Structure 1
Amino acid sequence: MPNLAYWFRNDLTAMTEQSPSLPAISTLLDAISAPAVLIDRDYRICASNVAYRQTFTEGDPRLQRKCYEVSHGYKVPCDQAGETCPLRQCLESGQRQRLLHIHNTAKGREHVDVELNPIRSENGDIQYFVEIMHPASRPSEHHKAMIGFSPAYTRMLELLSRAAPADISVLLLGESGTGKELAAHYLHSNSDRADKPFVTVECSGLTESLFESELFGHEKGAFTGAIHRKEGLVEAARGGTLFLDEVGDIPLTMQVKLLRLIESGSYRPVGSVNPKQADFRLICATHRQLPQLVEQGKFRQDLYYRISPFPVILPSLRERQQDILPLAQHLLHNLTSNRGLTFSAEAQQWLQQQRFPGNIRELRNLIERSVLLCDTDEIGVTQLQPDMGAFSEQPAADMIEFSQVQQSDQIIPLDQVEQHYLARIAARFDGDNATLASKLQISERTLYRKLKAIKQN
């Protein structure tokens, strides 16, 4: 808001001398559509607009109260309470400040994107600040599950909030189960493309032969079995967002085609000679270490730089320990809104002590299982604890011993050999599934699918 200082300068002198100028200041603030307040150097709220009163204080202007008292419930400024204070930073730098804070609102605690603009007197001294507050998210069925107030989560959300309005490509990094698809939905829902399609491409499940056809589509008769023209996912995402999940699993031979799409903004459906223009915002996600894959020659360096101008690391659940219980309660409410189930005190304590190598996905699985096992109104530790001993220690009886396979000339179906080997490795491996999948050089999603197939057999 470059004209804020000009708007307010003429009223500042009168404001320090008499209170009748406050209505005029409030009227000027009402020209700002987002919630906004005028704060003096002593942290006092001197004026507020209608949007602020409706969003944060249920109509109460909260004049002459300290901003940190109203926004956070603190008795001291934010920087003295262990947080970053935009007002203090603004005083020290003399420049506009912007950061993500957790504010008390009429709906409870919410993340708020805070923008603080210094207002100077005629002699150039900072006398007041205009604080403009944007709730960090728009209502959406997808990112409602993005719950958390830990420092690690807040840092991640601040990066997402800064990237969302831009059209920059974002690379979401982090362990499996940390919520990368939810983060992608958040970026889409808070962008100018929010009313356009959000299209997901599951890269780990596509073979080389399918990748080009799925992404770019194909013409009738382009290959055996192509009896109809098919629209590709790039076309389906026109005007919206294209989300490439597990981009690190794209076959090397297909990466050059994706690179050409990103660089030129055009593509050709399989079997067509006419190029088409693409129109999408690109978001990619992976649990893999792409720089290592680049060094190993398994991922193109030029493609890596194209998809990663704005990388965002999603923290693991063990890095946001204080978020485990709010997340668990949110998931439980979504799963049992008609039953009113709760966690016992012991179950809450047990949940907060877990490491959750599978992150939010593992937490959700535990809660879903506990709901099915619970016959009362309260979930205890017994319902939460998984019982995997029988699977991990007792391989299926009909599986053929791998050592016998090595010593025998008998031809054994490959899927049986793979199942037996994978069952033994999974039972003895001490690390998490993400590490095991990496060592096996498959995606964690593929590993989960194969382990599930073993259990069903």
Structure 2
Amino acid sequence: MSLPAIPAELRSLLEQLPEPHILFTPDYRIVFANRAYRDSHGSGRALLGQTCYHVSHHYDAPCDQSGESCPLARSRESGQRERVLHLHHTPHGEEYVAIELMPLRNAHGEISWFVERMTPLPSARRHGNDDLIGRAPAFVRMLEQISRVAPSDATVLLQGESGSGKELVAQAIHRASKRANRPFVVVDCSGLPETLFESALFGHERGAFTGAVSRQIGLIEAAQGGTLFLDEVGDIPLTLQVKLLRLLETGAFRRVGSVEPRHADVRVISATHRPLRQMVADGRFRQDLFFRLNTFPIALPPLRARREDIPALADALLERVAPSRGLRLSPAALARLASLPFPGNVRELRNLLERASLLCDGPRIEPEHLDDPLDSPWLAPADTPPAATAPSANSPASRKALAAQLGISERTLYRRLKAGWRP
């Protein structure tokens, strides 16, 4: 197949760009790959003439005909630059890649070429032993937001249930940012007493208070040039929220016991499982601070909203908790996991698999290895007389039948119903 000639100026421009770029025609045919692409993906000569959807996805048809969003189709329709997050086949395995596609027009205003820039999203893959793993729609939407906000210095607020991976998401944002080579410093806002919080965050001078025998820099200074992650920001005392607000608004702070202002060059990411909007309404959190933290909010999906990710997550977690054993879940054990409500999210899944790995002597985890010791009969609550009304899922009789149907104990069913699970 003969390929169209590429203007020398365009070829030279693409060759000098630091990020991987490819150039292709409106019929999806790749005609050029720049040096950055060749360095990260191998020789570009083998790509020439192939379609972008075959190279990136191994599809036989364009993305929009194969169940994915196609940036070329969207750009052809809008006539503008388009951005998507796609899962690409790369020499390093399957990786999530942020795609930015731009149409190029000729002198007659017609689209002659499409230029595609590819930016891998660190710590995010469909499979493997990486921090962020998944392919569920809710998970991919979260990754799309990460890919958009990471290159900026915008303040990010992560909201999600306990155990949903807020710190891992914060790390992924940091690694995909221009501050990736600088410190990532975690501030556990729930683990510091109010009397020590200000000193830990801002630092202190010698003699600032009883026990301050020497000057001490704070976590803000430790994060200079990098990212400051405020974990469980909803637990910051009201008396200190105004000082944090001043830091966000002016970039200035003072060590405890000092009058000398200092400048903080940090990107702030905060996280909480608390309902901050309701806390603002109740007067327990400053509204102005909430607005400063909430520049770019990201909601983390709970594990029950991405159950299709459980097999890949379980494989990766088993490699972490038992790296030398090659443990795998039996189909029955995997089905058991898929039925659980997981109020503790990925953290609960990891704990469950770690315990199962200790109970399992062979190479395969079975359903009995996932049983909860708190299901013991002597720990079960005493039965109560059935209600006079029609039995519900919470009635003892119904619980017994439903537990038998699900293949679990009544105690386990009772705890799941109490946690909000509904059959």
Q: TM-score range by the shorter chain?
A: 0.7 to 0.9
Q: Aligned pair in 2 of structure 1 residues 359, 305: CA closer, same or farther (>3 Å)?
A: same
- 2:356 paired with 1:370: yes
**Cα distance, 1:196 vs. partner?**
1.7
Q: Aligned pair in 2 of structure 1 residues 111, 258: CA closer, same or farther (>3 Å)?
A: same
**Cα distance, 1:225 vs. partner?**
2.3
Q: Return 143-152 or 258-267, whichever deviates more.
A: 143-152
Equivalent position amino acid for 1:133 in 2: M
Partner of 2:172: 186
Alignment of 1:157-236 (within 5 A): 157-236=143-222
Distance, in Å, in 1 between the alignment partners of 2:51 and 2:82 is 19
- 2:309 paired with 1:323: yes
Match of 1:76 among 53, 61, 68: 61
SS of the equivalent of 1:74 reads: coil
CA deviation profile, 1:7-64 (whole Å, cap 9, x unmatched): xxxxxxxxx9866769997666433333222222222223333443554466662332
**Cα distance, 1:295 vs. partner?**
0.5
SS of the equivalent of 1:61 reads: helix
- 2:223 paired with 1:272: no
CA deviation profile, 1:101-120 (whole Å, cap 9, x unmatched): 11122232210111111121
Distance, in Å, in 2 between the alignment partners of 1:391 and 1:300 is 48
CA deviation profile, 1:180-206 (whole Å, cap 9, x unmatched): 101111111222222222111111122
Distance, in Å, in 2 between the alignment partners of 1:54 and 1:264 is 42
**Cα distance, 1:168 vs. partner?**
1.0
Equivalent position amino acid for 1:250 in 2: I
Equivalent position amino acid for 1:255 in 2: Q
Partner of 1:343: 329
**Cα distance, 1:387 vs. partner?**
2.2
Distance, in Å, in 2 between the alignment partners of 1:42 and 1:129 is 10
Alignment RMSD: 3.0
Q: Aligned pair in 2 of structure 1 residues 232, 41: CA closer, same or farther (>3 Å)?
A: same
Partner of 1:310: 296
Q: Aligned pair in 2 of structure 1 residues 360, 430: CA closer, same or farther (>3 Å)?
A: closer
Aligned length: 388
Q: Which has the higher helix share?
A: 1
**Cα distance, 1:351 vs. partner?**
2.3
Q: Note if contact 2:124-2:133 (Cα within 8 Å) is conserved in structure 1.
A: no
Distance, in Å, in 2 between the alignment partners of 1:227 and 1:73 is 64
Q: Return 168-177 or 35-44, whichever deviates more.
A: 35-44
Q: Note if contact 1:175-1:434 (Cα within 8 Å) is conserved in structure 2.
A: no
Partner of 2:119: 134
- 2:262 paired with 1:262: no
**Cα distance, 1:335 vs. partner?**
2.2
Match of 1:120 among 105, 108, 111: 105
Equivalent position amino acid for 1:168 in 2: A
Q: Note if contact 2:184-2:223 (Cα within 8 Å) is conserved in structure 1.
A: yes
Partner of 2:407: none
Provide the TM-score with structure 2 as the length reference.
0.83
Match of 1:42 among 7, 13, 27: 27
Distance, in Å, in 1 between the alignment partners of 2:335 and 2:116 is 39
Distance, in Å, in 1 between the alignment partners of 2:93 and 2:192 is 43
Partner of 1:88: 73
Q: Note if contact 1:56-1:104 (Cα within 8 Å) is conserved in structure 2.
A: no
Q: Return 358-367 or 25-34, whichever deviates more.
A: 25-34
Distance, in Å, in 1 between the alignment partners of 2:308 and 2:380 is 36
**Cα distance, 1:76 vs. partner?**
2.3
Distance, in Å, in 1 between the alignment partners of 2:3 and 2:219 is 63
Give aligned-pair identity as a percent: 51
CA deviation profile, 1:418-442 (whole Å, cap 9, x unmatched): xxxxxxxxx987677799xxxxxxx
Q: Aligned pair in 2 of structure 1 residues 17, 148: CA closer, same or farther (>3 Å)?
A: closer
Match of 1:241 among 213, 217, 227: 227
Distance, in Å, in 2 between the alignment partners of 1:113 and 1:34 is 12
Partner of 1:298: 284
Q: Aligned pair in 2 of structure 1 residues 374, 392: CA closer, same or farther (>3 Å)?
A: same
Alignment of 1:429-440 (within 5 A): none
Distance, in Å, in 1 between the alignment partners of 2:89 and 2:121 is 13
Distance, in Å, in 2 between the alignment partners of 1:22 and 1:432 is 67
Q: Aligned pair in 2 of structure 1 residues 99, 139: CA closer, same or farther (>3 Å)?
A: closer
Distance, in Å, in 2 between the alignment partners of 1:132 and 1:71 is 13
Distance, in Å, in 1 between the alignment partners of 2:145 and 2:124 is 19
Match of 2:88 among 81, 86, 103: 103
Q: Aligned pair in 2 of structure 1 residues 52, 274: CA closer, same or farther (>3 Å)?
A: closer
Alignment of 1:416-455 (within 5 A): none
Distance, in Å, in 2 between the alignment partners of 1:79 and 1:160 is 23
Equivalent position amino acid for 1:283 in 2: I
Which stretches in structure 1 are left out of the alignment for 5+ residues?
Answer: 1-15, 396-426, 436-457
Match of 1:65 among 50, 72, 78: 50
Distance, in Å, in 1 between the alignment partners of 2:66 and 2:221 is 50
Which stretches in structure 2 are left out of the alignment for 5+ residues?
Answer: 382-412
Q: Return 201-210 or 359-368, whichever deviates more.
A: 201-210
Q: Note if contact 1:200-1:243 (Cα within 8 Å) is conserved in structure 2.
A: yes
